[in-house]
């Protein structure tokens, strides 16, 4: 099996199969990453809609050949599900030969995920009117019903798997790998070869207790999830406060009666979210009809199929892959949901990457010979990370490779004018930016690479410690905090996270701002993204081919050209990504380039 062409090798700027250029991260989930991508073939043909969504599945799937077979089968089935309330899947393939990463292309939609819609529009006013909610619920129901008629159950329906388009259309996502299931009424069965227990995951707050207990999939699992989502649209709250069904059943939780609904409508909701399948609404259509509030319907008898026509191979966890198409950031988990998930001894798929807590910050600050303080330094523990990206466009940022970082210290802030002034006066150097006020907080700029390197050497002499510029690998490690995300805060652009031209900065973007004007990253370091770029020690190399893997400074190459990292106030936000490299002549002095220093530790 190939060790290359994994999902981690692709990021913004990469081109898959010479056709799909990844332009923006739309979302990240436990099963992979979703990109907005330009279909170069459509663009060449001047197609009016050349953009698609590309779901790049994580490498767990390339490591399981039987998974690929089953995923291909079910994606093919979903391609045949032509329905206005189901997102369209276009293609399913590997990025290269056997053993390489798997990707799926889907229609690109504009609008808002139902999860975010509930958070921003529904919860603040404690629920929609019945008419507004029913319009959304009915469209979701139409898509689920159509899938169930084709013997497909979703198995992981939740608010993030429904999307409200700008034209009012609601589409359900993630049917591409939906499980083929037995219809509980007709007894029909369609065979699948894939055991989801190897790669399965589910979202406990919307899973039926049968799913949590490992029973085989059933359309009434989707009805339970739909009932929970319907209740949220009508009240702004999950019926069991996102406590999983098995725990809610053990604790005998009951959802509050909705005063705006009549008795029949409340019973309809209660039937949809019943803990036992036998008590649950038998079909989506049955639930929707009762939710109209006119009459309660009799439940049909169920067929117990003791000898199924075709055997089905199903593992203990009831969900396959989510082809998650999410068009916004995946942060801000509900705290009660987190607690509920911790209680469950199952693998959990959530739409939000779990954010690490900030590292415990340990600082040191050396005294200079004259009695002044040196820069405040943060101690960085040893670690390792994946440096760079693999891109057919931004080749200088790759190939991605594993790097080990040894323990060192780094300045919390970009070096200020006041800190540099001490060196400049002692060394008879030119005072940079002499008219700038507030020199204790303003970052030094208008310094060449040699000026920056000389400053670090001077600090070493002043403190009897070894100061230097960061290696390029060390810089990317402290900027990314060892994570794979595009920016230190996540995978997508966000306003007011940094100082740059398109960052939504509240400050004047024609010049730098005081250091520490924005949140620090998880290591406690300020301004690794934006404000001013920072010189690093390495000479310029066109790619990372044969780059050191121990985090050391990379000599050789073209040392007349040096590297600045982090982007600046003059950059667009996309150029603030952790992997972005900028090359400059070593003697250039610009308003947008400054200094950050490292200190060796024993």
pLDDT tens per residue across span 146-169? 989 888 888 889 998 899 999 999
Looking at residues 359-381, what average pLDDT do you find? 94
Residue 311: pLDDT band by 50, 70, 90 thresholds? very low
Q: What percent of the chain has pLDDT over 90?
A: 57
* Domain covering 7-107 assigned CATH 3.30.200.20 in the classification: yes
Residue 59: pLDDT band by 50, 70, 90 thresholds? low
Kindly report the pTM of this predicted structure: 0.52
Asked whether the beta carbons of 106 and 55 are under 8 A apart, the reply is yes
Asked whether the beta carbons of 144 and 258 are under 8 A apart, the reply is no
Asked whether the beta carbons of 560 and 414 are under 8 A apart, the reply is no
Residue 399: cis peptide before it, omega within 30 degrees of 0? yes
pLDDT tens digit sequence for 432-472: 999 999 999 999 999 999 999 999 999 999 999 999 999 99
φ, ψ for residue 110 (rounded to 5)?
-115, 130
593 secondary structure, DSSP code = E
What per-residue confidence (pLDDT) applies to 12?
84
| CB atoms near residue 495 (< 10 Å) | 11
What per-residue confidence (pLDDT) applies to 13?
84
Candidate from 89-98, 404-413, 556-565 with smallest mean pLDDT: 89-98
What per-residue confidence (pLDDT) applies to 194?
34
**Between 360 and 386, the higher pLDDT residue:** 386
What per-residue confidence (pLDDT) applies to 341?
26
Extents of the domains making up the chain: 7-107, 112-343, 363-600
Tokens of 530: 């934006």
* Domain covering 112-343 assigned CATH 2.60.40.1930 in the classification: no
pLDDT tens digit sequence for 499-508: 999 899 999 9
Residue 314 has pLDDT above 90, yes or no: no
Asked whether the beta carbons of 216 and 192 are under 8 A apart, the reply is no
Q: What percent of the chain has pLDDT over 70?
A: 78
* Domain covering 363-600 assigned CATH 3.90.1580.10 in the classification: yes
Of 147, 151, 157, 139, nearest to 85 (Cα)?
A: 139
What per-residue confidence (pLDDT) applies to 257?
93
φ, ψ for residue 445 (rounded to 5)?
-145, -175
Residue 70: pLDDT band by 50, 70, 90 thresholds? low
Residue 403 has pLDDT above 90, yes or no: yes
Looking at residues 387-409, what average pLDDT do you find? 86
What per-residue confidence (pLDDT) applies to 73?
61
What dihedral angle (degrees, nearest 10) is formed by the CA atoms of 215, 219, 224, 227?
A: 170
**Between 188 and 156, the higher pLDDT residue:** 156
Residue 88 has pLDDT above 70, yes or no: yes
Residue 224: pLDDT band by 50, 70, 90 thresholds? very high
Residue 132 has pLDDT above 60, yes or no: yes
**Between 400 and 63, the higher pLDDT residue:** 400
Mean of per-residue pLDDT scores for the chain: 82
Residue 255 has pLDDT above 50, yes or no: yes
Asked whether the beta carbons of 354 and 403 are under 8 A apart, the reply is no
In 423-479, beta strands by DSSP E: 467-469
What per-residue confidence (pLDDT) applies to 342?
28
Residue 174 has pLDDT above 60, yes or no: yes
Residue 539: cis peptide before it, omega within 30 degrees of 0? no
Q: How far is CA 480 from CA 387, 477, 523, 538, in A?
A: 9, 5, 9, 18
Angle (CA) 111 114 118, round 5°: 115
């Amino acid at each position: 099996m190939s060790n290359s062409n994994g999902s981690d090798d692709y990021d913004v700027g990469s081109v898959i199969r010479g056709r799909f250029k990844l332009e923006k991260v739309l979302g990240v989930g436990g099963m992979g990453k979703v990109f907005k991508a330009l279909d170069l073939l459509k663009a060449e043909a001047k197609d009016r809609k050349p953009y698609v969504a590309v779901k790049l599945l994580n490498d767990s799937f390339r490591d399981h050949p039987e998974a690929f077979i089953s995923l291909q089968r079910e994606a093919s089935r979903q391609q045949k599900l032509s329905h206005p309330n189901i997102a369209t899947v276009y293609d399913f393939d590997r990025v290269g030969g056997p053993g390489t990463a798997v990707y799926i292309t889907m229609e690109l939609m504009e609008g808002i995920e139902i999860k975010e819609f509930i958070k921003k529009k529904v919860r603040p006013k404690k629920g929609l009117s019945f008419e507004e909610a029913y319009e959304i619920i009915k469209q979701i129901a139409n898509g689920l019903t159509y899938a169930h008629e084709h013997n497909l159950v979703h198995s992981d329906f939740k608010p993030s798997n429904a999307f409200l388009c700008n034209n009012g259309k609601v589409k359900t996502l993630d049917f591409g790998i939906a499980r083929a299931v037995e219809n509980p009424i007709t007894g029909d069965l369609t065979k699948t070869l894939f055991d989801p227990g190897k790669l399965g995951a589910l979202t406990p707050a919307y899973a039926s207790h049968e799913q949590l207990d490992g029973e085989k999939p059933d359309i009434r699992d989707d009805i339970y999830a739909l009932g929970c989502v319907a209740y949220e649209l009508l009240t702004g709250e999950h019926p069991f406060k996102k406590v999983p069904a098995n725990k809610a059943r053990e604790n005998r939780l009951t959802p509050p009666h909705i005063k705006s609904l009549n008795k029949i409508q409340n019973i309809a909701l209660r039937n949809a979210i019943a803990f036992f399948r036998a008590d649950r609404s038998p079909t989506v259509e049955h639930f929707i009809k009762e939710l109209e509030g006119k009459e309660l319907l009799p439940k049909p008898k169920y067929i117990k199929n003791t000898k199924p026509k075709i055997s089905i191979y199903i593992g203990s966890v009831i969900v396959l892959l989510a082809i998650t198409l999410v068009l916004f950031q995946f942060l801000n988990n509900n705290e009660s949901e987190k607690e509920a998930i911790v209680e469950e001894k199952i693998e959990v798929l959530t739409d939000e990457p779990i954010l690490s807590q900030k590292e415990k910050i340990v600082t040191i600050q050396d005294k200079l010979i004259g009695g002044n303080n040196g820069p405040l330094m943060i101690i960085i523990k040893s670690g390792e990370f994946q440096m760079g990206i693999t891109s057919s466009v931004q080749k200088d940022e790759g190939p991605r490779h594993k790097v080990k970082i040894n323990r060192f210290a780094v300045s919390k802030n970009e070096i200020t004018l006041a800190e540099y002034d001490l060196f400049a006066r002692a060394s008879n150097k030119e005072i940079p930016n002499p008219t700038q006020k507030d020199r204790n907080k303003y970052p030094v700029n208008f310094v060449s690479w040699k000026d920056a390197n000389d400053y670090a050497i001077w600090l070493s002499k002043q403190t009897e410690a070894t100061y230097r510029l960061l290696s390029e690998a060390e810089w990317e490690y402290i900027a990314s905090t060892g994570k794979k995300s595009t920016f230190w805060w996540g995978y997508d652009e966000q306003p007011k996270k940094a100082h740059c031209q398109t960052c939504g900065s509240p400050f004047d973007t024609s010049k730098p701002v005081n250091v520490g004007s924005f949140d620090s990253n998880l290591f406690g370091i300020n301004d690794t993204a934006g404000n001013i770029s920072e010189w690093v020690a390495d000479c310029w190399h066109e790619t990372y081919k044969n780059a050191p893997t121990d985090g050391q400074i990379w000599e050789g190459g073209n040392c007349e050209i040096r590297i600045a990292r982090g982007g600046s106030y003059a950059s667009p936000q996309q150029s603030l990504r952790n992997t972005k490299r900028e090359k400059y002549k070593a003697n250039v002095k610009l308003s947008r380039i400054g200094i950050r220093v490292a200190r060796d530790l024993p």
